[in-house]
Amino acid sequence: MVQPTCHFTVSFLEPGNHIYDVALDVTDLPEGRHALTLPVWTPGAYKIEDFSRHLFDLSIQNPLGSLEEITHDSKNRWLFENAGDEPLHIHYRVYAFEFGVFTSHLDQTHAYFNGAQLFLLIDDYKDIPYFVSLKKPAGWTISTGLDPDHINPGWYKALNYDILIDSPFEIGTQSIISFEVDEKPHQVAVYGHGNEDLGQLAKDLETIVKSQRQIFGSLPYNHYTFIVHLSDKSTGGLEHLNSTTCGVERFMFRPWKNYKRVLSLFSHEFFHLWNVKRIHPDMLGPFDYNKEVYTHLLWAMEGFTDYYAFLTLRRSGLYSVSDYLNALSKKLENYEKRPGKFVQSLAESSFDTWIKFYRPDEDSVNRTISYYLKGDLVGTCLDLEIRRRTGNQFSLDTVLRRLYERYGEKGIGFPESQYQDTVEEVGNSSFQDFFDKYIYGTEPIPIDEALLTAGLRIDRQYSKLKEDDTENSDSSSSQFPSPWLGIDTKNDGGYPVVVAQIYSTGPAATLINAGDQIIALNGYQVKKPDDIKNRLEYDHHIGDTVAVSLFRQGHLLTVPVVLAPKPFDKVRIVPVDNPDPGQKTLFESWLASSWNYDQQASSKTSPPSPAQ
């Protein structure tokens, strides 16, 4: 049977209008009724976006110049009748002014697009090749993971619709720097400027590529593209088969405490080229682009990716052991303070991502747990448990490698039950109890026991405002809790102080609401969040009743709140005093470090500052 051929031409000669003009030329489309659809979501971002809301001016022309009749029969679908087997010219426009990693943007400075917003699919022709060419302003260059077409100069070719959708384009005057690993070209394409040091970034990305390749043995692509957006805010990252887009705040490249967060984002997105893009449950590819797809395994796809993002930074030497353990401490602090950890399991968090994780609200802290955060910590526990049970012969690396060899490398997804089966095969014992408690259940994770196998213990304390400006850090810690209202205020720090979320476990849970504007404590005005923190810390005790005056929907109220002890929120991970040889060995192989690691501050410094 003859398959149709589809060629997209994307034009944006007047980028200031934020409109992509898209032509789709189709040949060999059989006679009869056909459907055009646009995805409602883009893989990796589990949120219904209804991209068709930005599509307009759709028309279909046959070679005689007459227009075909189109029926718009659902939010993302259009039907038409093809009378003959003549070529068709489908034309439409897409408004694109949403700056982000999984959206599309077009302005005077650049064009960035994801295929899910631009490329219509005809019927179910997902397995035919797609061609793309671009009409762009003079002087703009193209960065994409898509392969150039070897027959038509200037065209790009995707082997199928999934690859087309999975290959974003950055087009403009971006800075480009390249390196090779295994003789494979890697391009870093950076839009925007800040305090970036591209030479350093490329060097560090090369280190990340080499470190992660070691787990799987080779790089499963011919070339790789890092698209980097530098702007006034962090917009996260999105993974693809042989590219990623990472949105970084433009001044995050110095000092080291900022830059190490940038590296963890790149490390996370790069690791995804294996974990989720190739190793994935069968629901996550090939995709249904018309509706939500459900999986219980995002803790393994995202949480374990985050675990390896940091672990491979440590193994590569980019992170010191202290950097690694400090990052782990921060994750534990975030996990511990979240009441939702005892409400939602990891499997539920994954399944409900479409309506919960991607649609957070003021109550999320109480009812949900992030599959990134808890998934990462459970990854730590599982890795150390496999190492313990197998005498350090196998690890979570082995699990991922086996799943990759059996499924990922062959381009197929696995049934969900395969994950636990593979863990049990590698661990050579049952992990039913582990999965029941920490994946399907909400029991406290066994992180203390896990870290102890590697000779580490968790020191839990309470953060305190710093009393003395001679102290180095922003806060200090104590064995004793401070008085606590159990609220978080909005971060902008301005006046009035607005309540962002209320902890269901705190003393104000039934008294103060999210959105309330707090204006006074015990009759005295508060102008900023720190006023509340300072007065609670220094002027009150646990058990005191404070009168909180607030505006609720414009109505002045004063509510009495009895101050409770703040839950511990400061974690330090420290070596045990007298480790046995087994603990030392496990530590050393897990973190690729000698037991006597740097216990000072990070050994790493920022790239040198440019001359003043």
Q: Which is nearer to Zn ion, 194 or 236 (CB)?
A: 236
Token pair belonging to 590: 């897990």
CA dihedral 390, 392, 393, 398 (to 10 degrees): 90
DSSP code, position 439:
I
Least Å distance, CB 304 to Zn ion, is: 10
For Zn ion, the closer of residues 162 and 302 by Cβ is 302
Identify how many contiguous H helices and E strands the chain contains and give both numbers: 16, 31
Subset of residues 229 to 268 that bind Zn ion, contact rule: CB under 5 A? none
Residue 272 CB, nearest approach to Zn ion (Å) = 5
- Could you tell me the smallest distance in angstroms from the CB atom of residue 268 to Zn ion? 6
576, burial (CB in 10 Å: exposed 0-12, middle 13-18, buried 19+): middle
Nearest to 516 by CA among 492, 495, 532, 499: 499
CB-wise, 49 or 302, nearer to Zn ion?
Answer: 302
Return the CA Rg of the chain.
Answer: 27
What are the tokens at 213? 């390749």
Residues 101, 245 contacting (CB under 8 angstroms): yes
| Shortest spacing between CB 237 and Zn ion, in angstroms | 7
How far is the C-alpha of 94 from the C-alpha of 108, rounded, in Å?
16
The minimum distance between CB 143 and Zn ion, in angstroms, equals 21
Q: Is residue 430 exposed (0-12), middle (13-18) or buried (19+ Cβ within 10 Å)?
A: exposed
Between 272 and 570, CB nearer to Zn ion: 272
Nearer to Zn ion (CB atom), residue 302 or residue 516:
302
Query: What is the residue-wise DSSP string for 282-306?
Result: GGGSS--TTS----S-HIIIIIHHH
Q: 266 vs 419, which CB is nearer to Zn ion?
A: 266
Nearer to Zn ion, 302 or 348 (CB): 302
Tokens of 50: 């209804």
Q: What's at 609, amino acid-wise?
A: S
Cα separation, 505 vs 484, in Å, equals 11
**CA-CA distance, 526 to 507, in Å (whole number)?**
19
* Residue placing its CB nearer to Zn ion in the complex, 80 or 102: 102
| Min separation Cβ 535 and Zn ion, Å | 40
Min dist CB 376 to Zn ion, Å, is 11
The strand ranges marked E within 391-478 are: 456-465, 475-478
Does residue 528 contact residue 493 with C-beta atoms inside 8 Å?
yes
Alpha-carbon distance of 148 to 132, in angstroms, equals 9
Residue whose structure tokens are 């990891």: 346
Give the per-residue contact string, 216-235, with Zn ion (x = CB under 5 A; - = no): --------------------
Binding track, positions 406-435, relative to Zn ion; x by CB under 5 A: ------------------------------
Quote the least distance from Cβ 302 to Zn ion, whole Å: 5
* Window 39-78: contact mask with Zn ion (x via CB under 5 A): ----------------------------------------
Bridge-partner residues for 226, per DSSP? 188, 244
Query: Residue 282 is encoded by which pair of tokens?
Result: 């069968």
CB closer to Zn ion, 170 vs 302: 302
CB of 222 to Zn ion, least distance (A): 23
Q: Rank residues 221 and 342 by Cβ distance to Zn ion and give the closer one.
A: 221
Least CB distance from residue 586 to Zn ion, whole Å?
A: 28
Q: How far is the CB of 353 from Zn ion (least distance, A)?
A: 12
CA distances from residue 556 to 538, 545, 548, 553, 560 in whole angstroms, order as listed: 27, 19, 11, 9, 14
Fill in the per-residue mask, 286 to 325: x = in contact with Zn ion (CB under 5 A), - = not in contact.
----------------x-----------------------
Give least dist CB 64 to Zn ion, A: 49
Answer yes or no: are the C-beta atoms of 97 and 105 closer than 8 Å.
yes
> How many binding residues for Zn ion (CB under 5 A)?
1
Question: Where does 48-206 show beta strands of DSSP type E?
Answer: 55-61, 70-74, 77-82, 88-95, 105-107, 110-113, 121-122, 130-135, 141-144, 147-148, 156-158, 169-172, 175-181, 184-191
Residue whose C-alpha is closest to residue 321's, from 451, 220, 233, 507: 451
Smaller CB distance to Zn ion: residue 204 or 302? 302
In the bound state with Zn ion, the residue whose beta carbon lies nearer, of 302 and 385, is 302
Residue closer to Zn ion, measured from CB, 269 or 323:
269
Shortest distance, position 418 Cβ to Zn ion, whole Å: 21
Instruction: Determine the Cα–Cα distance for residues 291 and 213; give it in Å rounded to an integer.
Output: 34
Which residue sits closest to Zn ion, CB atoms considered? Answer: 302
| Burial 479-513, CB ≥16 within 10 A → b, else e | eebbbbbbbbbeeeeeebbbbbbbbebbbbbebbe
Q: Pick the closer one to Zn ion by CB: 132 or 238.
A: 238
Least distance CB 247 / Zn ion (angstroms)? 13
From the CB of 239, what's the least distance to Zn ion, in Å?
Answer: 6
- Is the CB of 144 or the CB of 244 nearer to Zn ion? 244
Extract the tokens encoding 513: 């609401």
Q: Which residues bind Zn ion (CB under 5 A)?
A: 302
